[in-house]
Amino acid sequence: MAVTAVDPSSTLAQAMSTTAVSNNFNKLDFYLVKNEVALFPKWNVYDTLYGSIKWQPNMGDTLQGLTPTPSPISRSTFAPNVLADAPLKDIYKIGERNESAKLSYHRYESTRFRFLNSFESFWRDQLSYAHKDIVRQIQTSQNQFIRTLMWYQTPDVYIADGGAGRLSSSVTLDGSAAKASLTQDQIRTIDGDDDRTSATTSAIGTGGGQEYRDALAVGASTAANTAGYLTLKDIYSAMLVLQEDVGAPTFDRQHGVPKSSEMIKGKYVLVCSTEAWASLMWDADLAGTSGRRLAPANMNLINDGFAGDLWGKVTVKFDPHPLRFIDNGAWINPQTVTNNKVVPNSVYTKIADTSTASTTAASNEVAFLCGADAFKAISVGPPPKEFAGKNVSKKKLYGMNWNGQIDLTDQFLVPTASTTDVSTDGSEGWDLNVYGDYLKFISQTIHGGIPGDARHCLPIVYRRRRVS
C-alpha cells in the first residue's frame, strides 16, 4: 500500500476504499476530524472566552478593531425645565478607539513515521497518538497566546494579600516597577520566557517583565507590597474593581463551543489553578464565628469545565498549567523530561516557606479575573457548529478547511535508503521520499488578537499555598 508524493491524502483515501472497511467514518479523514473535535475543548480555557474572530486566507496581515465608545454620564442630578419654559437640550457625541495588531503564524510538525503494511496497526500504534499530541500542543499554544496578551497588555494587576489586597497602581514598587500596557511589537521582542530588562528593554522588564514580578515576590525590599495568599475577600475585592471602578461587562456566552454556555452568562470568570481553588475551601471567611460570612452560592464542582460559582457573580474555570514564577520573577515551565518521561517540573510544583525567598520553587502564581470583551482573538480549531449534529455529510466534511487543520503528508526529504531507522538525522545524505515510506503530520496556525478594552481583564498575583 504505497503512498505517492503527489497527493497523500487522496491516495490514502483511495487505498482505504479498496479494503474491507465499508464504514466511511472509519476512514482516515473522518477519524482525524473526530479526534480533533474531541480533543480541542479539553484544552480550551482562554480561547473560549476571547477567541471570537473567524479568519480566512487572504484577509490581510493586520487586525483592525474600531471600537465605539459611549458618551459619558456627565451629571449626578437631573431636573428638566417645566413645560411652560423652553426645554434644555443635551447633545451626545460618541467616540471611537482604533486597535490594530499584526497577524502572526506558527507551524507544527510531528516526527516522521515509517509506513507499515498494516494500516490499521500503524494508525492505532503510532499515528493516533501523534495526532492527539499535536492537537493538544496547537490548542495549548493558542491559549498561551491569549494568556500572554492578557498578562502583558492589561494596564494593572491586583496583588492578593490574605484579604487585604490592592491594585499594583496604588502602591510604589521597588526599582521603578509599574505595570504598563505593552504593545504586541514589544511582546514579540521577548526571547522565549526571558523578559528581563537585560534581554529586552527597561519598559518591558519593569512594565510587566521579570523586574516587575520580582517586586511582587517575597524578598523585595518593599515587603509591604509583596503578594500574599489568595482569599475569598481578595477575589471579591477584585470583582468590585472590575464592576465598580472599571465598569467591565459580564459574559453572555462562550466562543467556540458546540453546547449551551448558560453557566457563564451574567458572570465574570476567574481562571485559576485547582490548587488555588482548593485552598478557598479552608478560607477563614468561609465560615466565621457567628456563621457563614463570605459564603459562595455554590462551591460544588459542575460540568463543562467550570469549577464553581462565587456569590452568583464569579464563575471559576481551571487553567491546567497556570503562570508561575520564582521569587526573582522568572517564569517557570510546567513540565520537563526525565528518563524519557514527561513529568511535572519539580521547581514548578514546589512551594517555598512563606517568609523565605527562593529561586528553586515557583511559589508565586497568576490568576485572571475576566470580564467580557477584554480581548478578541482569532479562533484556532474546527468550527464546532459543524459537528454539533449527529450527521455530517461527506461532501461538507471534505470541503471544510479551518485554522490549525492537521494534514498528513509524505512530501519531505528522508535519509538515504541505507537504513529504515526513523530517528536517523540524515548525516549520510538525504533522498526524496518517492516511495512514500514515511509520513508526518503538519499544521499551520494563524494567531492574532486585539484588545477590546484590556481593563476588563484583571490579573491577580498571589503566593501559592496548600492547606491540609
Span 53-97, pLDDT tens digits: 777 666 667 777 666 767 777 777 777 888 888 888 878 777 666
Asked if the structure places residue 73 within a domain, the reply is no
Indicate the range of 210-214, 262-266, 293-297, 380-384 predicted with least confidence: 293-297
Asked if the structure places residue 412 within a domain, the reply is yes
Q: How far is CA 350 from CA 50, 293, 346, 368, in A?
A: 31, 32, 6, 21
Q: What is the mean pLDDT of residues 130-147?
A: 88
Asked if the structure places residue 158 within a domain, the reply is yes
Residue 38: phi and psi, rounded to 5, are -75, -30
Per-residue pLDDT, 18: 44
> At residue 305, does pLDDT exceed 60?
no
Which structural domain range is residue 42 located in? 8-59+101-141+381-445
Asked if the structure places residue 161 within a domain, the reply is yes
Domain shared by 132 and 153, yes or no: no
Per-residue pLDDT, 294: 60
What's the number of domains the chain is made of?
Answer: 2
Q: Which amino acid, residue 136?
A: R
Asked if the structure places residue 345 within a domain, the reply is yes
pLDDT, tens digit, for every residue of 219-256?
Answer: 998 888 999 999 999 999 999 999 999 999 998 866 65
> At residue 46, does pLDDT exceed 90?
no
Chain centre to alpha carbon of residue 288: 36
pLDDT, tens digit, for every residue of 199-224?
Answer: 999 999 999 999 999 999 999 988 88
Instruction: Name the strand (E) or helix (H) holding 144.
Output: helix 128-152
Per-residue pLDDT, 432: 86
Q: At what angle do helices 128-152 and 28-43 cross, to 10 degrees?
A: 30
Candidates 252, 250, 251, 261; CA nearest to 384 is 261
Domain shared by 427 and 317, yes or no: no
Domain shared by 292 and 224, yes or no: yes
Domain shared by 223 and 193, yes or no: yes
Domain shared by 358 and 457, yes or no: yes
Cα separation, 149 vs 155, whole angstroms:
11
Domain shared by 260 and 250, yes or no: yes
Domain shared by 302 and 225, yes or no: yes
Asked if the structure places residue 69 within a domain, the reply is no
Q: How far is CA 188 from CA 207, 376, 464, in A?
A: 15, 18, 29
Cα separation, 53 vs 50, whole angstroms:
9
Domain shared by 225 and 239, yes or no: yes
Higher pLDDT, 392 or 194: 194
Domain shared by 227 and 298, yes or no: yes
C-alpha cell of 385? 457548529
Per-residue pLDDT, 1: 36
Cα separation, 25 vs 33, whole angstroms:
10
Is residue 420 helix, strand or coil? coil
Asked if the structure places residue 367 within a domain, the reply is yes
Asked if the structure places residue 84 within a domain, the reply is no
Domain shared by 161 and 243, yes or no: yes
pLDDT, tens digit, for every residue of 83-95?
Answer: 888 888 878 777 6
Cα separation, 160 vs 227, whole angstroms:
6
Domain shared by 190 and 211, yes or no: yes
32 Cβ contact list (under 8 Å, min separation 6): 131, 406, 408
Domain shared by 421 and 329, yes or no: no
Q: Is 438 within 8 Å of 422 (Cβ atoms)?
A: yes
Q: What does the chain come to in residues?
A: 468
